[in-house]
Amino acid sequence: MRRYLSLYGVFFVQRLKILMEYRVNFLIGATSTSFLQIGGVLAMWVVMRQIPSLNGWSFDEVLLVFGLVTISESITHMFADNLWTLGWQYIRSGEFDRFLVRPIDPLFHLLADRFCHDGIGNLLVGTALVVKAMSALHIPFTVATALYLVIAVLTGGAIFIALNLLTASSAFWLVDSIPVTFLVYNTYEFAKYPLTIYGRGIRIALTWLIPYGFASFYPASYLLGRNVGALAWMGPLVAVLFMSLAYRAWKFGLAHYTSTGS
Amino acid sequence: MPVIRTEQLTKIFRVVRKEPGLRGSLKALVRPRFENIAAVNQVSFEIDAGEIVGYIGVNGAGKSTTIKMLTGILVPTSGSVQVLGRDPHRQRVANAREIGAVFGQRTQLWWDLPFIESLALVGRIYEVPPARYRQLLKDFEDTLGLSELLHIPIRNMSLGQKMRAELAATLIHEPRVVYLDEPTIGLDLLAKERIRDFIREQNRGRGTTVLLTTHDLGDIEQLCPRVIIIDAGRLIYDGPIATIKERFGRHREITFETSEATTAIELPRDCTRLAAEPHRLTLRFDRTRTTASQIAAAVMEQIEVLDFSLAEPDLASIVRQIYQGGLREVEGNPRS
Ligand SMILES: Nc1ncnc2c1ncn2[C@@H]1O[C@H](COP(=O)(O)OP(=O)(O)OP(=O)(O)O)[C@@H](O)[C@H]1O
Ligand SMILES: [Mg+2]
């Protein structure tokens, strides 16, 4: 474990050196995602000027939900973006072989290989939204809330990574896994809003099937003092469950890896 | 104890067979027809510590697939493989520490990083002690001429430079076994020489065991006392290169340039005609049954000869014969 942490540090520093070589790309990448998120927030603001409350949720309360899921997303974006391109960049070209001749875990190698700076924008925007929402709503920032926030965000990040890993593992058969990942990943758009605005079906799906709800709605509800029962605390458990499921799928896929003919 | 041992090693790929055209694609999608390709078929061999073995065969013979099973990238369909006493796939990490692999068509380095940074990262992955790392880097700087390359990213390197960088990165953890899959592909003569010298030196100096695939028979002639030949997944020869040369080297080719047409000529005994040009006659003969002078005399009796030349077969033409099915002549060649 310690070895992997320090190794990640080395990979990270080398990655920064590459990024610094393409400084303009770095700036564009790091800010482009934030423009997208800001666009989303503006659209929501326009809508909510007409209807001051969304199913009993004020604009600032919705911002908290929005902000939390944005931070969680930024974690996958920064640390696990290579899962997206596993198929066409690594498996199709046979480059994945390189991971398998090295004495480290291939999944670690894949993820560490490319820290993705595009996620930084989301991290900043998400954090700004959460801070803005919390101060507007006068939620006291105590040690306990800080701790809860950190756990919530890490849980959310883990759920994002688990779902991406699960879908990316299909690349071992399909080669191009992007459509599958995209399909599942995109449902997180729903989790930018309180789940109460949706019908029962979607609510259940976003809680137990594609559990993005634990990355936004449930922790936000808890912080706002809205009663969601045990669901306020079940996030980490769900994250661990999905993570182990996803890791199994990955292992299964890996056993089916057949490399390429050239 | 052998360093590498395979027994009845087999890899079968299941691929979808597709008929041409859109209809074929659709059909393959709806009801896929699978086809099994035996890329490696019951191959058994042993390689001892410190050997350099050439692994050759035509395109698609199964060379790379064998290497992928030896490195632990692929699981054999059946049969077994052991490297340094381990199963390379099941004990992948332990195996990876002691082997190095170069796939000539790809790079294992980071495209955008200056080479020295890539190398440092590889050193960290293999946990090479810093003092040892510096020592090896210095060695490689001399033998591979690395100093001029250290600060260039891989993407800016020429093919020859890239291969030197690749070799350094593959050997920086001092692997006991090295697999080189076409290490000289696309290189000019000088670059090839340099790579060969380096491989030879690693083998002599450190006792590194090397398994090398190539389509360049110069590599084989200069580096490998022993070759293994596979064809359509099956091992067809395993033994000293000298044996092949001797068996096939029994044949000589003699070429006459003549002033008159050679079509009507009566061939001397014990030889066959190869080329059929009007003013040139090329004959192939077995030197244990007849001699060049006997043939020359028989030809000159019939026709005016302007010039003639005698050729010993080179390895390339020998291997061509073997690939074309001439191996029955050298069967029964197990290594003891
Ligand atoms: N991943 C794969 N999936 C399906 N078929 C494969 C795969 N890898 C190799 N093959 C097939 O197996 C056979 C052997 O291929 P291999 O790459 O081992 O040949 P090779 O001897 O290395 O050839 P070359 O000299 O062209 O590199 C070929 O028919 C190839 O099409
Ligand atoms: Mg090959």
pLDDT of residue B326: 59
A256 lines ligand 1 (CB under 6 A): no
Residue B318 has pLDDT above 80, yes or no: no
How far does residue B91's CA lie from ligand 2's centre (Å)? 24
* Eight-class DSSP state of A117: T
Please give the Cα distance from A186 to A175 (Å, whole number).
Answer: 20
CB < 8 Å to A101, chain B: 71-73, 96, 99-101, 108
In this structure, the strands spanning B177-181 and B99-103 are parallel
Q: Which of B60, B105, B121 sits opposite A14 (nearest CB)?
A: B121
Residue A92's SS3 state is coil
**Which residues of A lie closer than 8 Å to B, measured between beta carbons?**
3, 7, 10-11, 14, 17-18, 21, 93-95, 97-98, 100-104, 255, 257-259, 261-262
Tell me whether residues A7 and B125 touch, CB distance under 8 A: yes
Please give the Cα distance from B336 to B334 (Å, whole number).
Answer: 6
| Nearest residue in A to B126, CA atom | A103
| Nearest residue in A to B13, CA atom | A258
Q: What is the 3 state secondary structure string of chain B? A: CCCEEEEEEEEEEEEEECCCHHHHHHHHHHCCEEEEEEEEEEEEEEECCCCEEEEECCCCCCHHHHHHHHHCCCCCCEEEEEECCECCCCCHHHHHHHEEEEECCCCCCCCCCEHHHHHHHHHHHCCCCHHHHHHHHHHHHHHHCCCCCCCCEHHHCCHHHHHHHHHHHHHCCCCCEEEEECCCCCCCHHHHHHHHHHHHHHHHHHCCEEEEECCCHHHHHHHCCEEEEEECCEEEEEEEHHHHHHHHCCEEEEEEEECCCCCCCCCCCCEEEEEEECCEEEEEEECCCCCHHHHHHHHHHHCCEEEEEEECCCHHHHHHHHHCCHHHHHCCCCCC
Residue B336 has pLDDT above 60, yes or no: no
Longest dimension (CA), chain A: 61
Q: Could you read off the pLDDT of B111-135 as tens digits, one per residue?
A: 989 999 999 999 999 999 999 999 9
Structure-block tokens of residue B203: 């083998």
Residue A251's SS3 state is helix
Please give the Cα distance from A201 to A203 (Å, whole number).
Answer: 5
**Which residues of B lie closer than 8 Å to A, measured between beta carbons?**
13, 60, 64, 68, 71-75, 92-94, 96-97, 99-101, 103, 105-106, 108, 110, 112-113, 117, 121, 124-127
B62 CA to centre of own chain: 11
Percent of chain B with pLDDT over 90: 58
pTM over 0.95: no
Nearest atom (ligand 1) to Cα of B74: 1
ipTM of this complex prediction, to 2 decimal places: 0.87
B15 lines ligand 1 (CB under 6 A): yes
Q: Where are the domains of chain A?
A: 2-255
Please give the Cα distance from B325 to B80 (Å, whole number).
Answer: 28
The backbone torsions φ and ψ at residue A7, rounded to the nearest 5 degrees and listed phi first, read -65, -40
Q: Could you read off the pLDDT of B16-60 as tens digits, one per residue?
A: 877 777 777 777 777 778 889 999 999 999 999 999 999 999 889
pLDDT of residue A262: 61
How far does residue B78's CA lie from ligand 1's centre (Å)? 17
CA distances from B95 to A60, A102, A103, B175 (A): 56, 9, 8, 10
Of the options 3.40.1260.10, 3.40.50.970, 3.30.70.250, 3.40.190.10, the CATH number for the domain spanning B250-312: 3.30.70.250
Residue B324 has pLDDT above 80, yes or no: no
Q: Where are the domains of chain B?
A: 250-312
Reported confidence tier of residue B330, pLDDT bands at 50, 70, 90 = very low
A194 CA to centre of own chain: 18
> What is the number of CB-based contacts under 8 A between chain A and chain B?
62
Reported confidence tier of residue B320, pLDDT bands at 50, 70, 90 = confident
What angle is formed at CA B172 by the lines to CA B168 and CA B177, rounded to 5 degrees? 95
Percent of chain B with pLDDT over 70: 96
Q: Which residues contact B315 (CB under 8 A, 6 or more apart)?
A: B217, B220, B221, B241, B245
Best residue among B16, B65, B68, B180 to mutate for probing ligand 1, ranked by most atoms within 8 Å of CB = B65
CA distance A102 to chain B (A): 5
Nearest atom (ligand 1) to Cα of B57: 21
User: Which amino acid is it at A248?
Assistant: R
A240 CA to centre of own chain: 15
Q: How many CB atoms lie within 10 A of CB B117?
A: 20
Q: Could you read off the pLDDT of B183-238 as tens digits, one per residue?
A: 999 899 999 999 999 999 999 999 999 999 998 888 998 999 999 999 999 999 99
Structure-block tokens of residue B240: 């000293």
pLDDT of residue A226: 93
pLDDT of residue B327: 57
Reported confidence tier of residue B335, pLDDT bands at 50, 70, 90 = very low
pLDDT of residue B317: 72
Please give the Cα distance from A97 to A101 (Å, whole number).
Answer: 7
Task: Identify the H or E element spanning A57.
Answer: strand A57-58
Q: Could you read off the pLDDT of B165-178 as tens digits, one per residue?
A: 999 999 999 999 99
Please give the Cα distance from B99 to B67 (Å, whole number).
Answer: 12
How far does residue B75's CA lie from ligand 2's centre (Å)? 17
Nearest atom (ligand 1) to Cα of B233: 14
Q: What's the burial of B188, exposed, middle or buried (CB within 10 Å: 0-12/13-18/19+)? A: exposed
Q: What's the burial of A234, exposed, middle or buried (CB within 10 Å: 0-12/13-18/19+)? A: middle
Task: Identify the H or E element spanning A54.
Answer: strand A53-54
CA distance A258 to chain B (A): 6
**Which residues of chain A fall below pLDDT 70?**
262
How far does residue B23's CA lie from ligand 1's centre (Å)? 26
Reported confidence tier of residue B331, pLDDT bands at 50, 70, 90 = very low
Bridge partners (DSSP) listed for residue B114: B153
C-alpha Rg value of chain A to the nearest Å: 19
CA distance A91 to chain B (A): 12
Reported confidence tier of residue B328, pLDDT bands at 50, 70, 90 = low
Across chain B, mean pLDDT equals 89
Best residue among B11, B16, B37, B227 to mutate for probing ligand 1, ranked by most atoms within 8 Å of CB = B37
B54 lines ligand 1 (CB under 6 A): no
